[in-house]
Structure formats: structure tokens, C-alpha cells
Amino acid sequence: MNVWFGFKRNLPANILEEAQATAASKGNVSEKTRLSLLSFVDDVDYELEEMQKDQDEYARNLPPIDSGQGGDGGEPTGN
């Protein structure tokens, strides 16, 4: 049995501020470092794996551009 203890400050997290700071650091630091700055991400490696799974699933389900799916390419019609 594994027991994990995590201690966090009792101050409320300003998630918007955290998100803005990590967005501003994109391209300057690694994704792993950026995710580690977010208070609501407890396991950075797990989150990176989940992000990769999401990206792979999205790529698999996205129809090719020239497949003709996803609309007729015309202008929207009004109701």
C-alpha cells in the first residue's frame, strides 16, 4: 500500500492568474514546467500522458481536409 501526503498552502488559489502566467511562459519553458506551476495539477507526468492521449484521439477522429465531411462549404442559410 502506497500512501502519498501532499501539503498545500491554505490560501485560496487564483487559478485565472496561474493560467495567465503559464500561458505567458509558453515557448519559454517546457510543458512539464508549465504544468507544475498550476496548483490544481497534482501529477504532471500523468497530465502529460492524458494530454497526449487526447491529442492522439483528436487526430484519429478528425476527418481529412479533403474528405468532404463537415459541411457543404457553402454559405450558412438563415432560418
Digits of tens for pLDDT over the chain (79 positions)?
A: 888 877 766 666 789 999 999 999 999 999 999 999 998 899 999 999 999 999 999 888 877 777 665 555 555 555 5
Residue 79 domain-assigned?
no
Instruction: Tell how far CA 38 is from the center of its chain.
Output: 12
Residue 3 domain-assigned?
no
Which range of residues forms the domain containing residue 53? 30-63
CB 35 within 8 A of CB 48: yes
| Residue 58 pLDDT | 87
Distance CA 31, CA 51 (A): 11
Residue 37 domain-assigned?
yes
Residue 10 domain-assigned?
no
Q: What is the pTM of this model?
A: 0.57
Residue 49 domain-assigned?
yes
Three-point CA angle 51, 62, 36, nearest 5°: 10
Whose cell is 432560418? That residue is 79
Residue 69 domain-assigned?
no
Total number of domains constituting the chain: 1
Name the DSSP letter for residue 29: B
| Residue 64 pLDDT | 76
- Name residue 26's beta-bridge partners: 29
Residue 39 domain-assigned?
yes
